Structure 1
Amino acid sequence: MTTSPRAAAPPDVPGTPTDDLLGPVKLGPITLRNRVIKAATFEGLTPKGRVSDELIEFHRRPARGGVGMTTVAYCAVDKDGRTSPGQITWDDEAMPGLRTLTDAIHDEGAAISAQIGHAGPVASAKYNHAPALAPSRQFRLTTQSFARRASSADLDRIVERHVRAANRAIEAGFDAIELHFGHNYFVSSFLSPRTNRRRDEYGGSLENRARLARRVGRAVRDSVGDRIAILAKLGMDDGVRGGFWVDEAIQVAQWLEADGTVDALELTAGSSLLNPMYLFKGDAPLREFAAVMPQPTKLGVQLFGKHFLREYPYRDAYLLEDARQIRAAVTLPLVLLGGITDRAGIQLAVDEGFEYVAIARALLREPDLVEQIRRGDHRSGLCIHCNKCMTAIYGGTHCVLRTS
């Protein structure tokens, strides 16, 4: 049996490249066996909010295939923060399954992280039986409903729930947590001037709009100390006019670094609320999305989907241009996400000064990608960026091109 990631010997210089591209690296208080992180990809494998055997196998595959850490997505900090039915929240009933999951991944020699957050305006009012929460009251075209303005009590509760989730993650054996500060989920929706129209201390200036992100980071760090690694997934660009953009993301990254509340930032883009395909690049599989949607959503996708699910050309390392600007502004360890599919992509990230890489779709296509690279495979990855895996979440996320 491989030793637990917590027991591995640290490299000489924390968070810096080793002679071996896939050698061990430090991440806060833990050591990863390599710099490759399986990015959070909603699995659709948690019926009634419980860990299933299928969820365990979903994360076992990339762990067995060599990643340094796999990320469980998305674990809501409270029930009204779920985006769909069946998502995990941190209740007592979920804990035994989560412990079984973390033990299984440790047995494969990998570390495991839990992505935690509150979906805010992206949350499903229908399934949560409660209005979605947002910085300001706003109409959601996708659900034909209004999101409710979050009160001071809501903010206090959601901050406290992040703290509770972080501590429960420690109890369940997770090595790291990833605070969700992207995609116009709750914290990200406060960062964005497009979605935040408040006039109190949480709205207006960037300093005010960033107050919630910094408050969550501070509360979590003060509670957990260095008992678990803390990452934050930070959006750099909402992909919509008038939204959060890289110039503001640079300042937020600098504040989070100065606060000392996170061990690394994973850099992302796009808005699940306003422009979801901006993150993924590649094809927008409208027909496949319509096929799995109930009416009247199906009709809406057929009629208006091309306006909401816009296509963006794919290129390798497609978030690098924006991420470089963050890299130049902070010394905080960074995770490069987006279009990393092979050894060349990992090497590019290292050469550009990124300590870690996050891979999602390519690992759905080839769960053993890292082990192939370790064996000296220099070919391009097999993922063709068709994005049909996105439409598979309702029956369990998978690459539709894989036959086994």
Structure 2
Amino acid sequence: MTATAVPDVFQPARLGPLTLRNRVVKAATFEGMTRGALAGDELVAFHRAHAAGGVGMTTVAYCAVAPEGRTERNQIWMRPEAVPGLRRLTDAVHAEGAAACAQIGHAGPVANSRSTRVPALAPSRAVNAQARGVTRAATREDIARVTTAHADAARYAREAGFDAVEIHLGHNYFSSSFLSPRINKRKDEYGGPLAHRARVARDVCRAVRDEVGDSIAVTAKFNMDDGVPGGFWLDESLRVASWLQDDGTVDALQLTAGSSLLNPMYLFRGDAPLREFAATMPQPLRLGLRLAGGRFLRSYPYEEAYLLDSARRFRSALTLPLILLGGISTRATMDLAMAEGFDFVAMARALLREPDLPNRLRADPATPSLCTHCNKCMPTIFTGTHCVLTSRA
């Protein structure tokens, strides 16, 4: 009996109907470059740079499926007017030899209703600091509309030339918030038992797959756990991942964690940039964040592959292709992910500092990443996401 060869992360690989030039994915990081909720030159240049830098696929984040599904009003929402700008972006990415993915989703309770000027939707009505008000409990009609909107968004993405869509099932956005027993207090067919709480996520994935078939790849960003007491946790998450695999609606899962609503640093790890976030906010929010922000932006030590221990449980339980995210900035970590049976790796912050890091890691595996994991890039989403340690000229 011969051992299975470990894949080379920089060799071509299949993702559903796609063949990517390598197994490195630029993870979705909201770019803050879509004034007027449309793709322009800045966003095109951002993703062209990552494609030229050597990733197999770059992910545009974030393409909301409905106006109230944005975290702020300048985010793209998928509609016919968005297609031409996004087509320019995919053409630019393809010209550099990479594939393009659109992250589609609905922010749900993470939406800032003051900015979008539309009430935020959630499984249950609740006072919500993130939404800057009270979230409205989604009706059955709302759920049906949002589900259909995901399918429509996937169709627009295909029309714009995207090779894949990534459905957002993480971070307590709309679908993820229904999965959370802490947030979802419903008593109907969308609340209570896990099978009910998973209905929205499964229906959304089914609607997208039915719309696009195998014409483009369909992946999902999926929470392994919310990182909050009483939230969605590994035991339930493994069951839902198994259901998604059995449903046959996704070609891969990108495994993530944390709650943009309740504990965002659980995903990011490293320093919490409280002072920098506070500087972007008006008073009295600025003072409040400086005084009590540590309760929301908690610090977690950074280490390479910090989601690997949890992700191993998914790898051992599933046959579905999996994308490892979280603390991947060296060739050694990439090779470890391949040896552990993961099909792709996703990089984010390290590529903000060095978009060409994949090319350099391919040429010299000993190349160090210059990312310091200071997380000061996070507050730059309000002015155009970038590494604060590099020039934007």
**TM above 0.5:** yes
SS in 2 for 1:254: helix
Residue 302 of structure 2 aligns with an amino acid whose one-letter code is: Y
Q: 2:380 aligns with which of 367, 385, 392?
A: 392
Equivalent residues of 1:17, 1:25 under 8 A apart: no
1:354 aligns with 2:339: no
Instruction: Write the distance in 2 (CA, Å) between the matches of 1:17 and 1:104.
Output: 34
1:181 aligns with 2:169: yes
Instruction: Write the distance in 2 (CA, Å) between the matches of 1:70 and 1:100.
Output: 14
The aligned counterpart of 2:8 is 20
Equivalent residues of 1:50, 1:88 under 8 A apart: yes
The aligned counterpart of 1:378 is 366
Q: 2:101 aligns with which of 113, 117, 123?
A: 113
What is the correspondence of 1:316-327 to structure 2 with a 5 Å cutoff? 316-327=304-315
Q: How many residues get paired? A: 389
SS in 2 for 1:177: strand
1:96 aligns with 2:84: yes
Deviations 1:371-402 (A, max 9, x none): 00111231331111000000111110000111
The aligned counterpart of 2:73 is 85
The aligned counterpart of 1:49 is 37
The aligned counterpart of 1:149 is 137
Instruction: Write the distance in 2 (CA, Å) between the matches of 1:309 and 1:267.
Output: 21
Instruction: Write the distance in 2 (CA, Å) between the matches of 1:126 and 1:17.
Output: 53
How far residue 141 of structure 1 moved from its aligned partner, in angstroms, is 2.8
SS in 1 for 2:289: helix
Residue 343 of structure 2 aligns with an amino acid whose one-letter code is: E
Equivalent residues of 1:39, 1:360 under 8 A apart: yes
The aligned counterpart of 2:229 is 241
What is the correspondence of 1:280-299 to structure 2 with a 5 Å cutoff? 280-299=268-287
What is the correspondence of 1:68-79 to structure 2 with a 5 Å cutoff? 68-79=56-67
* TM-score, normalised via structure 1 length: 0.94
The aligned counterpart of 2:290 is 302
Q: 1:122 aligns with which of 88, 96, 110?
A: 110
1:160 aligns with 2:177: no
Change in CA separation of 1:195 and 1:107 when aligned onto 2, cut-off 3 Å: same
Instruction: Write the distance in 1 (CA, Å) between the matches of 2:295 and 2:107.
Output: 23
Instruction: Write the distance in 1 (CA, Å) between the matches of 2:79 and 2:9.
Output: 39
Change in CA separation of 1:144 and 1:375 when aligned onto 2, cut-off 3 Å: closer
SS in 2 for 1:321: helix
How far residue 17 of structure 1 moved from its aligned partner, in angstroms, is 7.0
- C-alpha RMSD of matched pairs (Å): 1.2
SS in 1 for 2:225: coil
Residue 75 of structure 1 aligns with an amino acid whose one-letter code is: C
Residue 139 of structure 1 aligns with an amino acid whose one-letter code is: V
1:67 aligns with 2:26: no
* TM-score, normalised via structure 2 length: 0.97
How far residue 256 of structure 1 moved from its aligned partner, in angstroms, is 0.2
**Which of 242-251 and 141-150 deviates more?**
141-150
Instruction: Write the distance in 1 (CA, Å) between the matches of 2:383 and 2:349.
Output: 17
Residue 49 of structure 2 aligns with an amino acid whose one-letter code is: R
How far residue 19 of structure 1 moved from its aligned partner, in angstroms, is 5.3
The aligned counterpart of 1:256 is 244
Identity %: 62
SS in 1 for 2:63: strand
Equivalent residues of 1:285, 1:387 under 8 A apart: yes
**Which of 18-27 and 256-265 deviates more?**
18-27
Residue 176 of structure 2 aligns with an amino acid whose one-letter code is: S
SS in 2 for 1:388: coil
The aligned counterpart of 1:341 is 329
Instruction: Write the distance in 1 (CA, Å) between the matches of 2:280 and 2:108.
Output: 24
Instruction: Write the distance in 2 (CA, Å) between the matches of 1:136 and 1:231.
Output: 27
Equivalent residues of 1:342, 1:369 under 8 A apart: no
SS in 1 for 2:350: helix
Equivalent residues of 1:119, 1:185 under 8 A apart: yes
